[in-house]
Amino acid sequence: MLELNQLHLAYDTAQGRRDVVRNLSLRLGTGQIGCLLGESGCGKTTILRAIAGFEPLHQGEIRLGDAVISTPTYQRAPEKRAVGMMFQDYALFPHLSVGENIGFGLRRVSRAARNARVATLLTLVGLEGSQARYPHELSGGQQQRVALARALAPEPDMLLLDEPFSNLDIDTRERLAFELRDILKQTGHTAMLVTHNQAEAFAIADRIGVMHEGKIVQWDTPYNLHHHPANAFVAQFISREHLLMQRSQALARNH
């Protein structure tokens, strides 16, 4: 479904060009969930934005299905990529109801079809009967579900998720991570998320790319990352993140 071939992304600054992603390649199969895992500044969100069509390529190409959607000389418009985007802050419209938020991307279909699709998605994410509520009346976890339903509403070929659980407490985050995987597997969507949280990555993804300084150090299954790290950096990163996760959970329980 998704192929990134030798991507190179950079930003122009007052001091000159700053390389963010270098010679990055990966493949993600139809119906799989991929994850880019790494610390802040490693380039993972820039890659997600490039897939969505918000960042130009300096080198390489992005393919979605059989089509090339980005090269240094060609960039298909974001709205024509059949890609759904779920933003880190959810980006819900505060003046629209839950139903109106979910149906926002369905304005070209009939009202009856839109209402039916909204009702189906509300059931899917466990928010039946919430059409008339507003974002400020919802918990963080409920807002996250609405944002997911809105991203799924136009039935995109691929779903992109930018740090989808970063605004939630630890217990809610872990529970929703498993629920999100179940929803995506139920709908059959191919998805790519970025996170700095190893627990989220391992709970959701079929393939994880551990990133460091703009490169994927290892693109593999969660099992292989734990049991067969490609090098010392991956082994240290996985063990360090696991230790930090245990400490965070212990602190949360104590409070």
Q: pLDDT in tens for each of the 255 residues of the chain? A: 899 999 999 887 777 788 889 999 999 999 999 999 988 888 899 999 999 999 999 999 999 998 999 999 999 999 899 898 888 778 899 999 999 999 988 888 899 999 999 999 999 888 998 999 999 999 888 888 898 899 888 889 899 998 877 766 677 677 778 888 888 898 888 999 999 888 888 889 999 999 998 999 999 999 999 889 999 899 888 876 554 455 444 444 455
- Domain-embedded: residue 203: yes
The answer to whether the CB of 9 falls within 8 A of the CB of 50 is: yes
CATH number, domain with residue 28: 3.40.50.300
- Domain-embedded: residue 99: no
Q: According to the model, what pLDDT value does residue 116 have?
A: 93
Q: According to the model, what pLDDT value does residue 70 have?
A: 95
- In three-state form (DSSP H/G/I as H, E/B as E, the rest C), the secondary structure along the chain is CEEEEEEEEEEEECCEEEEEEEEEEEEECCCCEEEEECCCCCCHHHHHHHHHCCCCCCEEEEEECCEEEECCCCECCHHHCCEEEECCCCCCCCCCCHHHHHHHHHCCCCHHHHHHHHHHHHHHCCCCCCCCCCHHHCCHHHHHHHHHHHHHCCCCCEEEEECCCCCCCHHHHHHHHHHHHHHHHHHCCEEEEEECCHHHHHHHCCEEEEEECCEEEEEECHHHHHHCCCCHHHHHHHHHHHHHHHHHHHHHHHC
**Domain with 61 in it:** 2-82+157-166+181-221
- Domain-embedded: residue 143: no
- Domain-embedded: residue 212: yes
- Domain-embedded: residue 204: yes
- Domain-embedded: residue 128: no
Q: According to the model, what pLDDT value does residue 253 have?
A: 47
**Looking at the 3D structure of the chain, how many domains does it have?**
1
- Domain-embedded: residue 150: no
- Domain-embedded: residue 152: no
Q: According to the model, what pLDDT value does residue 75 have?
A: 93
